[in-house]
Structure 1
């Protein structure tokens, strides 16, 4: 679900970036895309760590961080 949400957010931000001419708005949209990339890398790191540690994976699934 997190991947689908991130993909939707990325699509919306990129679409807005294509339509906005204001430099400040472009900067904010590009920054939001960079933050989204960072958040996605954190999710991937979390998944990799969970794969190597069954107990961690179970706890993260219980907390709703992993599906």
Structure 2
């Protein structure tokens, strides 16, 4: 993979965030397929999933208190 085309962690997090909520354009996805680093995508997905679960737990705690 050519490192000049690879995305940084911030750009990867942005791509993961858009993908997580389902608002990613196909053209952006196809452009990012070869440029995103798999390790960054995994870490970004774990961070996003943790935030989502935390928000759900907070909402449930507020609703039941």
TM normalised by structure 1 equals 0.48
Higher RCO structure (Cα 8 Å, ≥6 apart): 2
More helix, by proportion: 1
CA radius of gyration, larger in: 1
